[in-house]
Amino acid sequence: MRLNGTMRVNKKGHLEIGGCDTVDLAGKFGTPLYVLDEDCFRDICRDYNSSFTRKYNAEVIYAAKTLLNLAVCRMVDEEGLGLDVVSGGELYTALKAGFPEERIYFHGNNKSPGELDMALKAGVGRFMVDNMYELELLERLAGKCGQKARVMLRLTPGVEAHTHEYIKTGQIDSKFGLVIENGQAMQGVKRTLEMNNVELKGLHCHIGSQIFELSSYSYTAEVMMDFAGRVYRETGYCVEELDLGGGLGIYYAEGDRPGSVQDYAGIVMEAVLEKAAHCGIPVPKVLVEPGRSISGPAGTTLYTLGAIKDIPGIRKFVAVDGGMCDNPRPALYQARYEACLANKVGEPPAEVVSVAGKCCESGDMLIWNIELPAAEPGDILAVSCTGAYNYSMSMNYNRLPRPAMVLVNGGRADLITRRESYEELVKNDLMPEKLAKK
């Protein structure tokens, strides 16, 4: 397993993160346990800040959907990043944490009137409008509140990012955004410019996630800038802000070759600057919205091994006390992970096993064919790079309580999300009188 952030092997031969022995963490907080490496999370935020914000005066917005709770909101705020939220629930979390409203960007392809209203009242910085229905709705709702909503229009640039079918979004046949190619994007811009309660601040796109080819970004920037040039020629409107979305890939397992944040910034900004000169328009303020590349490497999940089932000549299954409930990604889109036995990191690999979850689904497998030291019940399995789209996608299938999360740094572990209790699992269940046990 590749060691991320502050991970190291301590004198006991145990995996350590943020100066905390993960075997002790498992003992103290129980498993499954999400462990968030504070230094790792903040260092990546700083890398984005120095590569984009300080170098090019661009803005970096953290995609909350990848990992969000109150503590994460505060770290993002302290690092000076903006926050991209996609629902009333994420917005509520941000407001609860005291995140500055003007640095909140509200995304989503079907925001409800209630959610738009909530965001208007909160005074969020930008509404990322996805479609004409939302645009007209926002114009009406903003008028009712006597507000001017600052919007960016989400466009579909027609770029096919090389990634999994479910996580690519830039192609024309997508549920997100107004299509440039068929004229809907230009119609959207023109309609927005006529509106009274909505102010057009710029254009947005997001071509997908877990992208390794940085040329996908420069190509997208060129398509968006060409469109900005056309907008200027047809309407006289100068695009002030250009948000190019997130999606930078990360290393999960053998074969993944992500680009660096610096290279990503260089390639994107070069394309924008060149096209601005070419189209004869001012350089817009560029925004990027990384999620996975910030939270992903900072997270590790600890599990306890239980049942071990050997089918001689076929496969050895080792089962953990979690699975698709705390990490649905392998079942959802064949995501791959690396892992180690946290209490035996120093030992050489002894066998090839497959890691099974405990849910009642044959598809609940976390890792196929991984080399581990001889595994025994009670060993602690650490799966790396689980910071993004794990806790945020977790669920209660089989009525498994959601795991706890600890923030580790300098030998100290702070509980930042409590483990769900059985009592909480039934807290919304109601018993109609006719079924009540007499």
Ligand X SMILES: *Cc1c(COP(=O)(O)O)cnc(C)c1O
Nearest alpha-carbon partner for 128 in 30, 241, 44: 241
Q: Which is nearer to ligand X, 247 or 323 (CB)?
A: 247
Residue 179 C-beta: closest distance to ligand X, Å: 16
Q: Is residue 66 within 8 Å of 45, Cβ to Cβ?
A: no
Residue 265 C-beta: closest distance to ligand X, Å: 14
As a whole number of Å, the end-to-end CA separation of the chain is: 56
Q: Which is nearer to ligand X, 292 or 402 (CB)?
A: 292
Relative to beta strand 299-311, strand 33-37 is: antiparallel
Show which residues are catalytic. 360
Q: What angle do CA 289, 290, 296 make, to 5 degrees?
A: 155
Q: Which is nearer to ligand X, 26 or 385 (CB)?
A: 385
For ligand X, the binding residues (CB under 6 A) are 63, 65-66, 84, 107, 206, 209, 245-248, 289-293, 388
Q: How far apart are CA 226 and CA 245, in angstroms?
A: 17
Residue 388 C-beta: closest distance to ligand X, Å: 6
Q: Is residue 322 within 8 Å of 390, Cβ to Cβ?
A: no
Residue 229 C-beta: closest distance to ligand X, Å: 23
Residue 366 C-beta: closest distance to ligand X, Å: 20
Residue 214 C-beta: closest distance to ligand X, Å: 14
Tokens of 301: 């999940």
Q: Is residue 22 within 8 Å of 31, Cβ to Cβ?
A: no
Q: Which is nearer to ligand X, 105 or 227 (CB)?
A: 105
Residue 206 C-beta: closest distance to ligand X, Å: 4
Q: Which is nearer to ligand X, 157 or 245 (CB)?
A: 245
